[in-house]
Structure 1
Amino acid sequence: MQTFFRKTTLRIPLACLSVAVLTIAAPYSWARDSANDRIRLLEQKLQSIQLELERVKSESSQATEKVNTIEKTTNQNVQKVSSDLEQTKAKMKERVGDDVTEKTRMLFFRGGFAHMMNHRDGVTIKNEVLPIGAQDRSDKDGWYAGAGFDWGLTRDVWGYIPKTTVFAELMVEYKQFGSHVLGNGAVGNAPSMLAGGSLNPINVTVNQLTITASPKIKFFEGSKIRPWVIPAGLAIHVMSPPSESITYIVPGVQFGAGIDYNIWKDFFIGIDGRYQLTAGKTDDINLSGMTAGGYLGIGF
């Protein structure tokens, strides 16, 4: 019995001590578990941030590669354009030259000698219907003055002949064959002999206005000296005095050839010869003739 009481008395304090130890140790255990949970949560957040940083880094790297690719392509294009431009300049320099100007348009002024293939008759000079009084004719030779312009169409005959330029030429030309031709007594006399007047012929000017439109082919582009030809072009002649039947407009064909010389910058001089052919006589008048002379041109 005493033994029992001693054991019981001894176990009670031990139990109380155990309860006390557990009571004191429990908060520390809970605190340790809570700290572990927070540490794990922080680790998860750090891992998420690290993944996000890696993703942003990857996207930034891809964007940088795209920018580099675009920059490389741009540089290649710039180099190609620069190379093409230099080649074009070199070709133009080779083709045209440093001291030669090459324009695709030119204004020119002409003058020189004119010649008719046949004598001119007319209602106020030599008249076969009313052969009264003076029956005069002008000389076959005369002079001319004119102006026109060339308009470039192609530098190489549309790809068939290099260094050969085709121009469209428009020109107006005035020719005079005499200003003191004695007038016919019927209509070129003051007063007319038909009205009983005495022989008093007036002076009649024999002239001609020619308007032409022609293709002009110039050779040796890039050279200071450029020969050219007109294979065939349209010519419209306005004559004065008119024929006995009062015809004053006659169509025809023009042929020509000449040489340009570039004297300085955009200024040219040249010589040319032209032949105007009409289809036979018009009211007993044939206006076929030729001109030969020089000209001054200004390129633009």
Structure 2
Amino acid sequence: MAGALVSPQVLSASKAEHALQATDSKVEALESQVNQMSQMLQSMQDELTRVRTAASRNASESSAKVQELDQWMASVKSTPVAERTKDNMAFFRGGYGHGNDSRGTFGAVPGGGTLVGGIGASGDPLVGAQKADKDAFYFGAAMDFSLNDDLFGLMDNTQFLAELGVEYKEFADDTYSGVTGQNVTTNQLTISVSPKIKFLKGSDFRPWLIPAGFDVNIISPPSGAVTVLNAGLQAGIGADYKIWNNIYVGADARYHETFDTIDGVDTDGVTAGGYIGFGF
């Protein structure tokens, strides 16, 4: 009877102990889950902090870049707009020319060479016995090419240019050839390449000078020795004025000097006239 009464008590205690152990296990499992969730939350918090820090740094860098861009735009807007200038020029010339010596006159020289009927000649037989006029008219064209704006650093607002030009001069058509008897037009073609110094860049009025340029002279008719070419120098001064939209009018005077004649033909002389130019 007593054994029967004890057994239920023992059984009841055993069940309570098992229930307590099960509760403890659940509590431990719950604490473990809570700890895991806490670690996950801490990780999420750390990641969120990192993202916020990175975003703040990126925002700071972006703001700095925006400020730098704003400063650059402000500096560009405040910089004066440079006016694009047309420093080269094509121009067309014309005016008066004068030679130092006249062409023409010759004398017969028996045995001096076969010219007409076995008679030689000295002088300028192709022009004729009569002297041609020293005065002439001329026309031509030239181009200026700008090389720098400060004369190689020596003078501000002073251009150094290269001028390439061609000029035709006609002296007279009132002489008669000693060879053919025909009326002769005496003329001369000059091709030149010259350095040019032009002052007051940026001004409408621009004086200039050519200290010394290179000339090649071609004469017609040929000399008595039947030569046509002679080389020399030219020097000149002038000025031009911009009248409207890169259109210029100007005047110049030039002296042409050679160091020798073309077998007796002197090509030295002066020209003076005007020109109209177009900047490009």
TM over 0.5: yes
For 2:12 and 2:97, the matched residues in 1 are separated by 145
For 2:189 and 2:33, the matched residues in 1 are separated by 108
**Contact 2:229 2:262 (8 Å CA) reproduced:** no
Post-superposition offset of 1:147 = 0.7
Post-superposition offset of 1:166 = 1.0
1:176 to 158, 167, 170: 170
CA displacement, residues 117-139 of structure 1 (integer Å, 9 cap, x when unaligned): 11124xxxx33453789511211
Q: For the structure 1 residues 181 and 38, does the alpha-carbon distance in structure 2 shift closer, same or farther, using more than 3 Å as the test?
A: farther
For 1:209 and 1:274, the matched residues in 2 are separated by 15
* Matching residue of 1:55: 47
* Matching residue of 1:115: 98
For 2:17 and 2:10, the matched residues in 1 are separated by 10
Structure with the larger helix share: 1
Q: For the structure 1 residues 20 and 117, does the alpha-carbon distance in structure 2 shift closer, same or farther, using more than 3 Å as the test?
A: same
Post-superposition offset of 1:151 = 0.9
For 2:73 and 2:158, the matched residues in 1 are separated by 28
| TM-score normalized with structure 1 length | 0.78
Q: For the structure 1 residues 56 and 216, does the alpha-carbon distance in structure 2 shift closer, same or farther, using more than 3 Å as the test?
A: farther
* Matching residue of 2:158: 164
**Contact 2:230 2:261 (8 Å CA) reproduced:** no
Q: For the structure 1 residues 242 and 81, does the alpha-carbon distance in structure 2 shift closer, same or farther, using more than 3 Å as the test?
A: farther
* Matching residue of 1:150: 144
Post-superposition offset of 1:62 = 2.8
Report whether the alignment pairs 1:103 with 2:86.
Answer: yes
SS state at 1:161 partner: coil
For 1:64 and 1:181, the matched residues in 2 are separated by 98
The aligned amino acid for 2:121 is L
SS state at 2:260 partner: coil
The aligned amino acid for 1:23 is K
* Matching residue of 1:199: none
The aligned amino acid for 2:273 is G
Identity %: 32
Q: For the structure 1 residues 62 and 22, does the alpha-carbon distance in structure 2 shift closer, same or farther, using more than 3 Å as the test?
A: same
For 1:68 and 1:205, the matched residues in 2 are separated by 86
* Matching residue of 1:238: 218
**Contact 2:95 2:138 (8 Å CA) reproduced:** yes
SS state at 2:102 partner: coil
For 1:160 and 1:85, the matched residues in 2 are separated by 32
Q: For the structure 1 residues 73 and 209, does the alpha-carbon distance in structure 2 shift closer, same or farther, using more than 3 Å as the test?
A: same
SS state at 1:130 partner: strand
For 2:251 and 2:165, the matched residues in 1 are separated by 15
Q: CA RMSD in A?
A: 2.7
Post-superposition offset of 1:41 = 2.8
Post-superposition offset of 1:102 = 3.4
For 1:118 and 1:78, the matched residues in 2 are separated by 73
| TM-score normalized with structure 2 length | 0.83
* Matching residue of 2:25: 33
Number of residue pairs aligned between Structure 1 and Structure 2:
265
**Contact 1:136 1:183 (8 Å CA) reproduced:** no
* Matching residue of 2:135: 141
Post-superposition offset of 1:188 = 3.0
